[in-house]
Amino acid sequence: MLPPECKERIARVAGPRGYLDRPEDLALYEYDGSIDKHRPDLVVFPRRTEDVVALVQIAREFGVPFVARGSGTGLSGGAIPREGGITLAFARMNRILEIDLENERAVVQPGVVNLDLTVAVQNAGYFYAPDPSSQRACTIGGNVAENAGGPHTLAYGVTTNHVLGLELVLPDGSVIETGGREGDLPGYDLTGFFTGSEGTLAIVTKITVRLMRRPEVVKTILAIFSTSEDAGRTVSEITGRGITPVAIEMLDGVMLRMVEEATHAGYPMDAAAVLLIELEGLAEAVEHQVEQVRQACEVCRAREFRVARNAEERDLLWKGRKNAFGAVGRVSPTYYVQDGVVPRTRIVETLRFIDGASQEYGLTISNIFHAGDGNLHPIILFDPRKPGELEKARACGEAILRHCIEAGGSITGEHGVGMEKNELMPELFSEESLETIRRLKHLFDPEERLNPGKVLPTGHGCLEIRQPALRSGQPTY
Averaged pLDDT for residues 436-445: 97
| Residue ranges of the chain that CATH labels 3.30.70.2190 | 217-326
| Residue ranges of the chain that CATH labels 3.30.465.10 | 96-213
Averaged pLDDT for residues 443-462: 88
Do the beta carbons of residue 93 and residue 111 sit within 8 Å?
yes
pLDDT given at position 113: 98
469 has a pLDDT exceeding 50? no
pLDDT tens across 327-366, in order?
A: 998 899 999 999 999 999 999 999 999 999 999 999 999 9
Q: Which residues of 300-327 are buried (b: 16+ CB within 10 A; e: fewer)?
A: bebbebebbeeeebbebbbbbbbbbbeb
pLDDT tens across 162-219, in order?
A: 999 999 999 999 999 999 887 678 899 999 999 999 999 999 999 999 999 999 999 9
pLDDT tens across 307-338, in order?
A: 999 999 999 999 999 989 889 988 999 999 99
60 has a pLDDT exceeding 70? yes
pLDDT given at position 460: 57
Q: Does domain 217-326 have CATH number 3.40.50.970?
A: no
Averaged pLDDT for residues 421-442: 96
pLDDT given at position 203: 98
226 has a pLDDT exceeding 90? yes
Tell me how far apart the alpha carbons of residues 238 and 355 are, in angstroms, rounded to a whole number.
24
Tell me how far apart the alpha carbons of residues 456 and 272 are, in angstroms, rounded to a whole number.
38
Determine phi and psi for 67, rounding to 5 degrees. -135, 140
Strands 105-108 and 163-169: unpaired
Averaged pLDDT for residues 377-398: 96
471 has a pLDDT exceeding 80? no
463 has a pLDDT exceeding 80? no
178 contacts: CB under 8 Å, gap ≥ 6: 165, 166, 168, 190, 191, 193, 194
Averaged pLDDT for residues 284-294: 97
| Residue ranges of the chain that CATH labels 3.30.70.2740 | 332-406
The chain-wide mean pLDDT, for the chain, equals 94
**CATH classification code of 4-89:** 3.30.43.10
Tell me how far apart the alpha carbons of residues 251 and 177 are, in angstroms, rounded to a whole number.
41
pLDDT tens across 245-269, in order?
A: 999 999 999 999 999 999 999 999 9
pLDDT given at position 181: 81
pLDDT given at position 476: 31
474 has a pLDDT exceeding 50? no
Q: Give the CA distances from residue 300 to residues 347, 348, 398, in Å, rounded to whole numbers and listed in that order.
A: 14, 13, 31
Q: Which residues of 171-192 are buried (b: 16+ CB within 10 A; e: fewer)?
A: bebebeebbeeeeeeeeeebbb
| Residue ranges of the chain that CATH labels 3.30.43.10 | 4-89
pLDDT given at position 473: 37
Q: Give the CA distances from residue 159 to residues 149, 153, 257, 332, in Å, rounded to whole numbers and listed in that order.
A: 6, 9, 31, 31
Q: Does domain 96-213 have CATH number 3.30.465.10?
A: yes
Averaged pLDDT for residues 88-107: 98
pLDDT given at position 461: 47
Do the beta carbons of residue 369 and residue 377 sit within 8 Å?
yes
Amino acid at the residue 462: C
CATH architecture of 332-406: 2-Layer Sandwich (3.30)
pLDDT given at position 1: 84
